[in-house]
Amino acid sequence: MTIQFPQDATPFIASSRNILRSHGIEVTIGSNFEKYSEIIREERKVQNLGAPFNHELQDLQKSDSFWLIGRNERGELIHTQAAKKVPLGGKSLAGHLLRNFRDFPPPIPGVQLSQSRFRATPGAHNIHGHVVYHGEVWMAPEEGRYRGVGLSTVLARTGLLEVLRRWDPDYIYGFMLRTVAFKGFAERMGYMHNEPGALKWAIAGRDKPIEAFLTWLSREDARFLLDIPVEELVSQAA
């Protein structure tokens, strides 16, 4: 199937490639999640592999999932993200997550699933059809080199373009911890809808649960984003 954007995606592809190369970043996309697990275990020690993309827990096929990583000129891992199709079975995302939200825990120790909860947001009630979950987003914590210079904007849109090219879904969604959302990361990622209070995760040893926002895009939102000159977004972020 050929994906038709409001305008040809070639300008975005060329511009993003030039920006990443100017920072010495090489992007690799794959579907072997056993290999991805090894990369995370050996090279991303500050953040565990998320359960939704753990090949030992999930049936992750080439046709319905992929990962994307970025490496610097020294071959060091500086970025990750991953995506997979989520069959809703004719339900809304709200209906699906009421039963299945525990499949998307934060990658931190001590999560108490039985004491955690999902609250359906307005957007979750309206999300139907073909849906993709987008997660595993991480940037190397080198302020001024990888963070704060607009690279997350380019890399996120590279992942969104890959989602559209592979599956052209009706909606793309993810979850974002409140502390991260309040820093404006959802906007830099390009998520145009960011709804608070969706998830409350009980953590052993903590008095208060941690909150996650539901972040999402429609197909039209994603196409709109990819039609914006990425140089402008990077300039603003920088």
Q: What tokens does 218 get?
A: 């429609």
Give all strands (DSSP E) within the chain, no chain letters. Answer: 26-30, 65-71, 77-86, 111-118, 131-139, 171-177, 193-203, 210-218
Cα 207 from Cα 151, distance rounded (Å): 36
The pLDDT value given to residue 124 = 98
What are the structural domains of the chain?
10-237 (3.40.630.30)
pTM for this structure? 0.90
What lies within 8 Å, CB to CB, of 8 at 6+ separation is none
DSSP three-state, residue 68: strand
Provide the pLDDT confidence category of residue 5 given band limits of 50, 70 and 90. very low
User: Do residues 183 and 176 lie in contact, with contact meaning Cβ atoms separated by under 8 Å?
Assistant: no
Helix H or strand E segment including 85 = strand 77-86
88, pLDDT greater than 60:
yes
Distances in Å between the Cα of 3 and the Cα atoms of 6, 37, 163, 166, 219 are 10, 30, 11, 9, 11
What does the pLDDT look like over 59-69, one tens digit per residue? 999 999 999 99
